[in-house]
Amino acid sequence: MFKKSVYSFVTAMVVAGVGSSVFAAAEASHFTRPANVPFPADNAMAKERIELGKLLFFDVRLSKSEQISCATCHDPKKGWSDGLPKAVGHEGRMGPRNTPTILNGAYQQTQFWDGRAATLEEQALGPIQADVEMNMPLDELIVKLNGIPGYVKLFAKAYPGEGVTKESLAKAIASFERTVVSSNAPFDRFIKGDKKAISENAKKGFELFKGKGGCTNCHDGFNFTDGSFHNIGLDDGDVGRYKVKSKEIFYGATKTPTLRDVTKSSPYFHNGSAETLEEASTVCSSGGKNPQARNVSTALKKADLTREEIGYLADFMKTLESPAMKLDIPTKFPK
């Protein structure tokens, strides 16, 4: 995260009339994506792995009903989410939470709203097994995939000597998911010096976002998330991270989502209760939906923003929308 002390120091220099170029460079660096997408050493980036993972991601045969794929809930046309308040999976069963986008998951330190998976490899197998999602026992799926000669050949090319296993299945899907990243948005051009890349209202929104609104307390850095967990006072009975780590600081707390391409992934929050950016911004800038709820995050700031200022915040967040990822969605699968 951008160190508050550094930010304050450079700001003071600007106020004093010196160091504005230093400040601009520091801010640009803070909000600029790293040069490379991180891949783990035991699952290095390879074209064969990414292509295999893409096929698996879109293949409905990974589900018990053969009607649901990973892409059913993580639809590239819907911001890699599904546009529903809560996920709907096997036989129409409703899941407990909103489907989080997988966009920029490669940069996240934990996965799922409650952070129960430490890696994308671990995350990839969760929905396959969940009875409210794809409802496919992994042992059964591995037998099934080993019975498809086309997949056996592709796994042999992507992971020589490993075969079709739970581990190689997870690694292949994760390899594809690491390619699902945001691209150059108007904000990115703005932060690099093109002051005409976003509107004047969006610029006002960015200043509110960093300042009065207190948004960077949680949504900071190039991915606009601190990667941490916060209770925003939805008070809906979901204990969040507390189920994973039973410490009071995690009660009701869920992971801060990225704001990249946020315009594409409504509704918002872990329970899908906010339909618009304006509604979500109002909740977060009011100290939470219910500021008196148990363990509401101290990062939330009661900013008393006007309706006009809320509109400016929304205008700013719209500048984080990037062009759609160039993707050839598979229509034919291995036999």
Tokens describing residue 168: 């190689």
| CA angle in degrees (0–180, nearest 5) for 300-226-57 | 120
What are φ and ψ of residue 64, in 5° steps? -60, -40
Q: Which residues of 32-64 are buried (b: 16+ CB within 10 A; e: fewer)?
A: ebeeeeebeeebeeeebbbbbbbbbbbbebbbb
Tokens describing residue 27: 């801010």
| CA angle in degrees (0–180, nearest 5) for 279-297-244 | 105
In sequence order, what are the beta bridge partners of 81?
75
Is 91 in the active site?
Answer: no
Measured in whole angstroms, the distance separating CA 242 from the mean position of its chain's CA atoms is 20
219, exposed or middle or buried, with CB in 10 Å at 0-12, 13-18, 19+? buried
Write the single-letter amino acid at 20. Answer: S
The single-letter DSSP state of residue 56 is: H
78, exposed or middle or buried, with CB in 10 Å at 0-12, 13-18, 19+? middle
Q: One of 51, 121, 133, 321 is an active-site residue; which one?
A: 133
Is-contact 187 320, C-beta < 8 A? yes
**Helix locations, 78-221, DSSP H:** 120-129, 138-146, 149-158, 166-177, 186-191, 200-210
Active site residues: 133
